[in-house]
């Protein structure tokens, strides 16, 4: 199972203080997101990845205190439900 | 619709039709200094009608409809026809406005700078706006603030100020020369009396102002004040807006710019005098 | 950084059904839908067949928005006992779009203050 | 002038806005909003000389329709994702299909719920997939539910718990109780794939569905909008094969009447064989244009007649009596 992010050209991302605003042009929906959502969108924006692959990149780029793939899967489920990320069978 | 009224409040034109003369006569009187809609063409229509022909005369009850409707709105007795007209106009703006980002907020202006006060229910927003008007501020509106998505400027919507219960006497004392509508007793919100905005508020109603402060006041608490982060202000203002989602990216731009450019504060106050002092100290 | 599995990291803005104060307080919520007169309301708010044990007869009347607001804040709906009132407010909480009273209830949810 | 006829005149000849008075403009917008045609009107007259106040309404209506189009296409996309694992065609219907197909004459059209057509034997899988992806039943009423499942051409409506948008899942385009039985298998078999894998009806079937929706399956509420759809689709697709296809679905009479009404109201160009005016046509024409200058429905008596008629068309008489009895006992009255 791979995850593909919305085309970065369809997103307007505005970081505010602790949270980040994401306006998704394709849906017209505004999302207010917490870490690690902007980071995930950023990495998946480079190309689809599976949970393990995404976790590896996140651990590589950030000092993850909690490299837990179950927690990451929950974040991805949220992103899928919001329509910002799509599940895909192959790359 | 035998009786008709056309009028403009701020930038928005209304056309109000009624089966009865009473509500239109009240509007004619209280809105007598307001202009007609631009080009005579209304942005919104409101109709006040009887559900059955005989209900025009027999226990007349006023149903409210318009271009944009919600289900479940209960009718009002004819004696409260003015309130029905006002509610009808508010509803059209709340549901149908697309030209500006609508924020459910009272707004006053001094020196070209606008203060928005949002989120207060009942005893507060309208009273505060009226009392600030009595202290020399320009009243821009007691209910809606209109934000131009392209420029970020705030436009006024100085409808009749809707005063409830104890606020009626408080404001009458502060503004002894002001014009008031009839006292409407036994409405769903208790007693209501409408205050006509002063001549200056009406004369300047087309002039926008730069938003300079967003306040989230709360009535009935010991005086307190705290800054509100832009992200919290953003979320709270989306919930204080009836058209944020329908404005799509324009709304996102306007609101993002507003919360980034303008400071927000939450203030708690125990009484109107304290609130006035706090607003004037912050503004 | 990844957060707890139970916490949400995304909040999506929904259309606010924010109305003006006057129109909010003016609306009414029927319990139950006129189409389901004679039903009972279970303590958790579900509509159940008449005479279901532990459930309360639907009052078959409308509650005013201001009364519902008070009840949601811990009060009791007028003319009802506390248990029934809780069942009715649970019914109101479960209202969905398309059901009578939904718009009224949704507009009560607008955060204030 | 009857304000509905004024709206029809402006839609067919936009330059006729020249010389409208302020009361004309007010009636025009009120009726256009009442008929859900404000966005359509705005697109028709955009760019023509008009008073500034009218121009602002045009801009507002265009922006509003554009947001509605985005939301509708997004809802279709989310349904596509939810149903991606099901091996069955998913056909978009009505407004969403027009938007997805980019039918330019229908720009500005209000798009209501998402309507999709799927094979009848796939409907349980579709239902399960939608429920798993966040859609929920709108009404848990057992009578309505049993009624829908047994007799209607669609599942009871589902609403998405986060987006508050409804989806109607159809397995044919008229209720199973109606005397007319369109060929659902042919609708699916001849549907056309879009780039993203979703499908739309063939040209003639799109027209047949619009006609079925207007007359055979409705009480003509909002009929001016539905008839405008037909007018535009005829302009886009023409009449080739239309009579045969409509006859195949049992919709020949509805299609011919729809064309005659479109010719009368919107001046649709139609071959001579499609023109004419029968004894009932004036009644339909009056009902379609029953609006006052506030955009409100008029002619109540005509409306009640059409309410009963729309139910009679859907159900055999004995079943109609049983249905109305159950509904009325539960407090439902025609509005």
Q: How many B/C residue pairs have CB atoms within 8 Å?
A: 87
Distance between CA B155 and CA B145 in Å, rounded?
A: 6
What would you report as the CA-atom Rg of chain A, rounded to the nearest whole angstrom? 12
pLDDT surpassing 50 at residue D235: yes
When pLDDT is averaged across residues D250-256 and rounded to a whole number, the result is 93
Q: How confident is the model at residue D279 (pLDDT cuts 50, 70, 90)?
A: confident
Quote the pLDDT of residue D46.
97
Quote the pLDDT of residue D251.
92
Quote the pLDDT of residue D194.
96
When pLDDT is averaged across residues D91-119 and rounded to a whole number, the result is 92
DSSP single-letter state for residue D273: G
Q: How many CB atoms lie within 10 A of CB D19?
A: 6
Q: How confident is the model at residue B235 (pLDDT cuts 50, 70, 90)?
A: confident
pLDDT surpassing 80 at residue D229: yes
What length is written for chain C? 113
Condensed to tens digits (0 to 9), the pLDDT of residues A47-80 reads 999 999 999 999 999 888 777 888 899 899 999 9
Q: Is the ipTM of this complex over 0.85?
A: no
When pLDDT is averaged across residues C66-73 and rounded to a whole number, the result is 75
Query: D242-254 burial, b for 16+ CB within 10 Å, e for fewer?
Result: bbebbebbbbbeb
pLDDT surpassing 60 at residue D302: no
When pLDDT is averaged across residues A24-43 and rounded to a whole number, the result is 94
pLDDT surpassing 60 at residue D185: yes
Q: Give the best-scoring range by mean pLDDT among C7-21, C77-91, D152-166, D193-207.
A: D193-207
- Mean pLDDT, chain A, whole residue set: 92
Who has greater pLDDT, A18 or B48?
Answer: B48
Cis amide linkage into residue D82, ω under 30° from 0: no
pLDDT surpassing 80 at residue A20: yes
Choose among D138, D330, D331: nearest Cβ to C98: D138
Distance from CA of D78 to the nearest CA of A (A): 7
| Residue-by-residue DSSP string for chain B | --EEEEEEETTEEEEEEESSHHHHHHHHHHTTTSPPPGGG--SEEEEEE-SSGGGGTSS-EEEEEESS--TTBPPEEGGGHHHHHHHHHHHHHHHH--SSEEEEEEEEEETTEEEEEE---SSSHHHHHHHHHHTTPEEEESSEEEE-TTT--EE-----EEEETHHHHHHHHH-TT--B---EEEETTEEEEEEPPPHHHHHTTT--BEEEEEEEEEESS-SEEEEE-HHHHHHHHHHT-SSTTTTHHHHHHHHHHHHHHS-EEEEEESSHHHHHHHHHHH-
Distance from CA of B233 to the nearest CA of C (A): 12
Architecture of the domain spanning A2-88: Alpha-Beta Complex (3.90)
Q: How confident is the model at residue D304 (pLDDT cuts 50, 70, 90)?
A: very low
Quote the pLDDT of residue D92.
97
Q: What residues of D are in contact with residue A29 (Cβ under 8 Å)?
A: 74, 163
Quote the pLDDT of residue D334.
43
Interchain CB distance below 8 Å, A27 and D162: no
Interchain CB distance below 8 Å, A25 and B249: yes
Q: Which structure tokens are listed for B81?
A: 């026809």
Quote the pLDDT of residue B240.
85
Choose among B231, B245, B248: nearest Cβ to A32: B231
φ, ψ of residue B214 to 5 degrees: the values are -115, 125
Q: How confident is the model at residue D139 (pLDDT cuts 50, 70, 90)?
A: low
- What is the residue extent of each domain of chain B? 3-96, 100-282
A74-78, B83-87, C4-8, D104-108: segment of lowest average pLDDT? C4-8
Q: What residues of A are in contact with residue C12 (Cβ under 8 Å)?
A: 29-32, 82
Residue of B nearest to A31 (CA): B235
Q: Percent of chain A, pLDDT > 90?
A: 74
Quote the pLDDT of residue C23.
43
Q: Confirm if B166 and B151 have CB atoms less than 8 A apart.
A: no
Residue with tokens 């300047």: B204
Q: Which of residues 5-24 of C touch A (CB under 8 A)?
A: 5, 8-13
Interchain CB distance below 8 Å, D331 and C96: no
Distance from CA of B216 to the nearest CA of C (A): 6
Quote the pLDDT of residue C19.
36
pLDDT surpassing 50 at residue B35: yes
Residue of D nearest to C46 (CA): D140
Distance between CA D220 and CA D280 in Å, rounded?
A: 14
Flag whether residue A75 sits within 8 Å of chain C, measured between CB atoms.
Answer: yes
When pLDDT is averaged across residues D162-171 and rounded to a whole number, the result is 87
* Optimal mutation site among A18, A26, A34, A70, interface C, most CBs of chain C within 10 A: A34
pLDDT surpassing 80 at residue C72: no
DSSP single-letter state for residue D213: I
pLDDT surpassing 80 at residue D220: no
Residue of B nearest to D55 (CA): B41
Quote the pLDDT of residue B131.
96
Quote the pLDDT of residue B180.
97
Interchain CB distance below 8 Å, D163 and A29: yes
- What is the residue extent of each domain of chain A? 2-88
Q: How confident is the model at residue D1 (pLDDT cuts 50, 70, 90)?
A: confident
| Residues sharing a CB contact under 8 Å with residue B210, sequence separation 6 or more, in sequence order | B112, B113, B114, B152, B153, B154
Condensed to tens digits (0 to 9), the pLDDT of residues B4-32 reads 999 999 999 999 999 999 999 999 999 99
Flag whether residue A34 sits within 8 Å of chain C, measured between CB atoms.
Answer: yes
Q: How confident is the model at residue C35 (pLDDT cuts 50, 70, 90)?
A: low
Distance from CA of C49 to the nearest CA of B (A): 26
Q: What residues of D are in contact with residue A27 (Cβ under 8 Å)?
A: 70-71, 74
Quote the pLDDT of residue B187.
82
B100-104, C101-105, D48-52: segment of lowest average pLDDT? C101-105
Longest CA–CA span in chain A (Å) reads 37
| Residues sharing a CB contact under 8 Å with residue C4, sequence separation 6 or more, in sequence order | A71
Flag whether residue A35 sits within 8 Å of chain C, measured between CB atoms.
Answer: yes
Distance from CA of A64 to the nearest CA of B (A): 25
| Residue-by-residue DSSP string for D138-198 | S---HHHHHHHHHH-SBPPPEEETTT--EEEEESSSS-TTSS----HHHHHHT-EE-TTS-
Q: How confident is the model at residue D291 (pLDDT cuts 50, 70, 90)?
A: confident
Residue of A nearest to C4 (CA): A71
Condensed to tens digits (0 to 9), the pLDDT of residues D32-74 reads 999 999 999 999 999 999 999 999 999 999 999 999 999 999 9
């Amino acid at each position: 199972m791979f995850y593909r992010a919305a085309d970065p050209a369809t997103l307007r991302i505005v970081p505010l203080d602790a949270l980040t605003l994401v306006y998704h042009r394709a849906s017209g929906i505004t999302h207010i997101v917490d870490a690690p959502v902007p980071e995930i969108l950023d990495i998946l924006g480079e190309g689809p990845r599976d949970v393990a692959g995404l976790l590896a990149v996140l651990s590589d780029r950030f000092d993850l205190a909690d490299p837990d793939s179950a927690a990451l899967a929950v974040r991805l489920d949220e992103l899928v439900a919001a329509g910002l990320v799509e599940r895909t069978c192959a790359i | 619709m035998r009786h008709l009224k056309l009028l403009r409040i701020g930038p928005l034109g209304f056309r109000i039709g009624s089966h009865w003369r009473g509500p239109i006569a009240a509007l004619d009187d209280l809105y007598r200094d307001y202009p007609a809609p631009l080009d005579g063409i209304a942005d919104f229509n409101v109709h006040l009608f009887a559900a059955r022909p005989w209900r025009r005369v027999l226990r007349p009850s006023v149903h409210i409809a318009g271009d944009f409707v919600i289900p479940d709105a209960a009718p009002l007795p004819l004696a409260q026809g003015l309130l029905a007209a006002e509610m009808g106009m508010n509803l059209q703006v709340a549901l149908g406005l697309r030209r500006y980002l609508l924020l459910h907020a009272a707004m006053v202006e001094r020196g070209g700078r606008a203060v928005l006060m949002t989120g207060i229910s009942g005893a507060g927003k309208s009273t505060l706006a009226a009392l600030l008007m009595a202290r020399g501020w320009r009243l821009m509106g007691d209910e809606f603030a209109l934000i131009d998505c392209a420029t970020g400027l705030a436009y006024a919507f100085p409808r009749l100020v809707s005063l409830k219960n104890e606020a009626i006497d408080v404001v009458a004392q502060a503004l002894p020369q002001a014009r008031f509508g009839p006292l409407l007793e036994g409405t769903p919100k208790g007693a209501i009396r409408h205050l006509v905005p002063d001549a200056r508020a009406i004369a300047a109603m087309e002039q926008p102002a730069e938003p300079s402060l967003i306040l989230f006041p709360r009535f009935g608490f010991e005086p307190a004040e705290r800054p509100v982060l832009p992200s919290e202000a953003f979320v709270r203002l989306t919930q204080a807006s009836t058209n944020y989602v329908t404005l799509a990216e324009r709304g996102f731009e306007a609101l993002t710019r507003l919360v980034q450019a303008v400071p927000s504060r939450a203030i708690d106050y125990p009484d109107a005098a304290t609130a006035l002092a706090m607003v004037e100290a912050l503004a | 950084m990844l957060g707890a599995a139970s916490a949400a990291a995304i909040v999506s803005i929904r259309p606010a059904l924010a109305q003006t104060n006057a129109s909010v307080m003016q609306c009414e919520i029927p319990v139950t839908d006129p189409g389901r007169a004679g039903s009972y309301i279970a303590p958790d708010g579900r509509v159940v067949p008449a005479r279901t044990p532990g459930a309360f007869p639907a009052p078959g009347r409308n509650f005013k928005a201001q009364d519902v607001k008070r009840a949601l804040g811990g009060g009791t709906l007028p003319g009802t006992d506390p248990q029934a009132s809780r069942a009715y407010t649970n019914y109101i909480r479960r209202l969905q779009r398309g059901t009578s009273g939904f718009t009224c209830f949704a507009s009560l949810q607008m955060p204030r203050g | 002038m009857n304000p509905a006829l004024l709206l029809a005149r402006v839609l067919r000849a936009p330059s006729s806005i020249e010389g409208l008075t302020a009361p004309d403009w007010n009636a025009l917008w009120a009726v256009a909003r009442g008929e859900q045609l404000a966005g359509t009107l705005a697109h028709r007259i955009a760019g023509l000389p008009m008073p500034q106040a009218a121009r602002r309404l045009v801009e507002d209506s265009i922006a509003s329709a554009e947001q509605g189009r985005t939301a509708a296409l997004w809802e279709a996309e989310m349904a596509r994702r939810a149903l991606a694992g099901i091996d069955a065609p998913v056909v978009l219907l009505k407004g969403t299909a027009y938007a997805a197909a980019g039918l330019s004459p229908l720009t500005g059209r209000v798009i209501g719920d998402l309507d999709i057509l799927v094979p009848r034997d796939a409907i349980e899988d579709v239902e399960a997939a939608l429920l798993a992806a966040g859609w929920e039943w709108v009404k848990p009423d057992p009578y309505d539910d049993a009624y829908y499942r047994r007799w209607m051409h669609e599942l009871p409506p589902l609403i998405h718990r986060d987006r508050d948008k409804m989806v109607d899942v159809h397995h044919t385009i008229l209720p199973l109780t109606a005397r007319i039985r369109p060929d659902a298998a042919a609708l699916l078999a001849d549907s056309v794939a879009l780039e993203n894998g979703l499908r739309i009806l063939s040209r003639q079937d799109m027209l047949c569905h619009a006609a079925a929706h207007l007359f055979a399956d409705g009480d003509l509420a909002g009929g001016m909008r539905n008839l405008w759809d037909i007018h535009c689709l005829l302009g886009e697709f023409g009449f080739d094969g239309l009579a045969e296809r409509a006859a195949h679905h049992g919709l020949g009479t509805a299609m011919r009447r729809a064309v005659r009404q479109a010719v009368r109201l919107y001046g649709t160009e139609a071959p001579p064989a499609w023109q004419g005016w029968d004894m009932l046509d004036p009644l339909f024409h009056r009902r379609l244009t029953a609006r006052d200058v506030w955009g409100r429905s008029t002619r109540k008596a005509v409306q009640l007649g059409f309410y009963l008629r729309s139910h009679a068309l859907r159900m055999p008489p004995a079943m109609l009596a049983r249905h109305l009895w159950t509904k009325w006992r539960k407090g439902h009255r025609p509005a």
